[in-house]
């Protein structure tokens, strides 16, 4: 016997929810794959007997694999004759598949409803929000590193161009160049910008990571970086030759709403 009823549900980008409410266009967006989704809202309306229940929401990818899970979390329901509505903002979802997902809504272990939503990789904007742009354009260094139980970030020099951050990381730590925690190896890092001339944080956001392969992309980014390298000794070609052998160049795409 079913414990209750799901009368309506939607999963939609926060921008769509803010503009159109719970009836907005369903879907979630990524800046890169795999990667962290841009903030989205899970909206649902329940008719479930009064009391505290366990609620869980599962996102099954196009491959049929469980990709991401929200909950289980304890929720108080108002009763079968009343409507219990919830709208949770999600900022920590990671997806490694794009396409049509099945979202299952579960109470006390029972699937009470399912919907389909698109999860799409959107083109990265060439211009970021004003405060993020200012933090990147007005500083010579940013802090970049890993997040989690043991977060670690270090100051790094970088180049910013049209919505992307480019930085160099030495494969094996050494005195020649900077080594950035999580690069290479992670598909996401945290970025912290600083106020110019003050050791205070301006903004903090996540960014998806793409390591540039050797070839035209690497060479183009390397030329931008070598011009930016303030403590470079010798001609640019000396640095470029060393970087090709011992370093990676990462392209970071900030996960921030445009």
Residues 237 and 150 reside in one and the same domain: yes
What DSSP designation does 108 have?
A: T
- Return the number of other C-beta atoms located less than 10 Å from residue 251's C-beta: 19
Residues 93 and 13 reside in one and the same domain: yes
Cβ–Cβ under 8 Å, residues 170 and 180:
no
Peptide bond into 184 cis (omega under 30): yes
Distance CA 88, CA 14 (A): 10
Q: Identify the domain containing residue 157 by its residue range.
A: 130-254
pLDDT given at position 132: 84
Residues 49 and 146 reside in one and the same domain: no
Tokens 């944080």, residue located = 201
Residues 205 and 142 reside in one and the same domain: yes
Domain boundary among 74, 90, 121: 121
Distance CA 95, CA 97 (A): 6
Nearest to 202 by CA among 148, 129, 108: 129
Pairing of strands 152-157, 5-13: unpaired
Pairing of strands 28-30, 110-121: parallel
pLDDT tens for the chain, 258 residues: list them: 789 999 999 999 999 999 999 999 999 999 888 889 999 999 999 999 999 999 999 999 999 999 999 999 999 999 999 999 999 999 999 999 999 999 999 999 999 999 999 999 987 777 788 888 888 888 888 999 998 777 789 999 999 998 899 999 999 888 888 999 999 988 899 999 875 555 545 688 999 999 998 889 999 999 999 888 766 666 778 889 989 999 999 999 998 876
Cβ–Cβ under 8 Å, residues 196 and 186:
no
Count of domains in the chain?
2
pLDDT given at position 196: 56
Distance CA 258, CA 255 (A): 9
Residues 82 and 149 reside in one and the same domain: no
pLDDT given at position 234: 66
Domain boundary among 93, 121, 149: 121
Nearest to 166 by CA among 207, 125, 221: 221
């Amino acid at each position: 016997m079913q414990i209750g009823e799901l009368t309506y549900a939607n999963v939609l980008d926060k921008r769509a929810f803010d503009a159109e409410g719970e009836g907005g266009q369903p879907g979630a967006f990524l800046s890169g794959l795999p990667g962290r989704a841009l903030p989205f809202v899970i909206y649902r309306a329940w008719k479930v007997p009064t009391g505290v229940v366990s609620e869980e929401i599962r996102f099954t990818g196009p491959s049929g694999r469980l990709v991401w899970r929200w909950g289980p979390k304890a929720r108080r329901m108002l009763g079968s004759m009343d409507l219990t509505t919830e709208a949770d903002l999600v900022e920590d979802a990671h997806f490694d598949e794009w396409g049509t997902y099945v979202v299952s809504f579960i109470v006390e272990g029972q699937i009470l409803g399912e919907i389909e939503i698109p999860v799409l990789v959107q083109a990265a904007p060439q211009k970021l929000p004003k405060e993020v742009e200012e933090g990147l354009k007005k500083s010579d260094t940013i802090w970049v590193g890993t997040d989690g139980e043991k977060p670690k970030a270090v100051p790094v020099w970088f180049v910013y161009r049209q919505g992307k951050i480019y930085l160099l990381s030495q494969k094996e730590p050494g005195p020649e160049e900077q080594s950035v925690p999580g690069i290479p190896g992670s598909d996401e890092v945290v970025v912290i910008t600083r106020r110019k001339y003050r050791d205070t944080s301006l903004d903090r956001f996540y960014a998806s990571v793409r390591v540039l392969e050797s070839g035209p992309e690497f060479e183009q980014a390397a030329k931008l970086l070598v011009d930016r390298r303030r403590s470079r000794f010798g001609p640019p070609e000396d640095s470029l030759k060393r970087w090709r052998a011992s370093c990676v160049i990462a392209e970071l795409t900030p996960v921030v709403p445009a």
